[in-house]
Amino acid sequence: MVKTQGLCYIYEDGTKALKNINLNIDNHNIIGIVGANGSGKTTLFFNLMGLLKPSKGKVFLNGKEMKYNRKALKKIRKKIGIVFQDPDKQIFYSKVYDDVAFGPRNLGIGEEEVNKIVENALNMVDMVEFKDKPVHFLSYGQKKKVAIAGALAMNNDIILFDEPTAGLDPVGTENMINIIKKLSEKNKKIIISSHDMDMIYELCEYIYIMSKGEVIDEGIPTRIFMKESILKEAMLKEPWLVKIHKILGVPLCEKEEELKAFYIGKNNK
């Protein structure tokens, strides 16, 4: 699906934001990209979307090298969507419906079909009853959901989430995780950038760790989060499940439910 080869990106002011990134998301459905603030996650996303053109290296979409003319970019938009960190930067219309309909209308889809798409997208994020509400009456979490619906309405195969849980309350975070899970069940590829270690650990099948514009390690969560030195270099912390594994010696669980099941089994013995 998406692959990068020796991707480098240098900003106009000379900052090397990305250095030799090799990424391949073919074999996993939910991929996490973790790193501290300023490690290059968002720049990487913009390169994957074709919003920025790599200074060096290549991005491949479905095996073909990405091109940057108008026609090619339109095709890319149908394949990959993005949910930005700040929903206010993504929402243009003052009415929820119109904003979600923005993408499909840009693709030239007829009004009747657009209506269905918008209904579906709002349904996925539980926001149907806000259809006619003005955006500035919504809370941050609700705006975030509208932004996701806007991305869903594009019906992309791949959706990038930039810091999906940043600024959300615990329930909002849980809702977000459920939405992402639901999307993945519908065969969408998801790439998440975040430094919410617990969320990433439970949700992602494969993880890239970034530090100062480089991917310093990659692997499955249970393996990668055991490497203390790598986490330290990336200025990240261990997820709580890894912490209690290390401190209390309980088996390393992938999900909270596993841990519960382990204790229930132990008590029954």
Partner 1 sequence: MLIIDKYSYTNNLKDYSPIAKFYFAIGLMLLAMIIDIKELYISVFLLNFLIITVLAKISVKKYIKILSIPMLFLILGIVPVFISLSKDSNNFIFVVNIWDIYIGITEEGINSSQILLLRALSSVSCTFFLILTTPMNDLIYVLKKHKLPNIVIEMMVLIYRFIFILLDETINIIVAQKLKLGYMDIRKSYKSISALIASLFIRVMNRYESLQYSLDARGFDRQFYM
Residues with Cβ within 8 Å of 76's Cβ and at least 6 positions away in sequence, in order, are: 49, 50, 61, 66
Closer CB to partner 1, 79 or 245, in the complex: 79
CB of 103 to partner 1, least distance (A): 5
Residues with Cβ within 8 Å of 214's Cβ and at least 6 positions away in sequence, in order, are: 18, 19, 20, 21, 40
Number of residues that bind partner 1 (CB under 8 A): 33
- Annotate each residue in 231-260 with x if it binds partner 1 (CB under 8 A) or - if it does not, as one string: ------------------------------
Residue 194 binds to partner 1 (criterion: CB under 8 A): no
Q: How does DSSP classify residue 52?
A: S
Contact 116, 97 (CB under 8 A): no
CB of 34 to partner 1, least distance (A): 22
**28-87 binders of partner 1 (CB under 8 A):** 46, 49, 51, 73-74, 77-78, 81-82, 84, 86
User: How many helices and strands, by DSSP H and E, does the chain display?
Assistant: 11, 10
CB of 219 to partner 1, least distance (A): 29
Closer CB to partner 1, 73 or 230, in the complex: 73
DSSP, residue by residue, 120-152: HHHHHTT-GGGTTSBGGGS-HHHHHHHHHHHHH
* Contact pick of 136, 186, 266, 269 for partner 1 (by CB under 8 A): 136
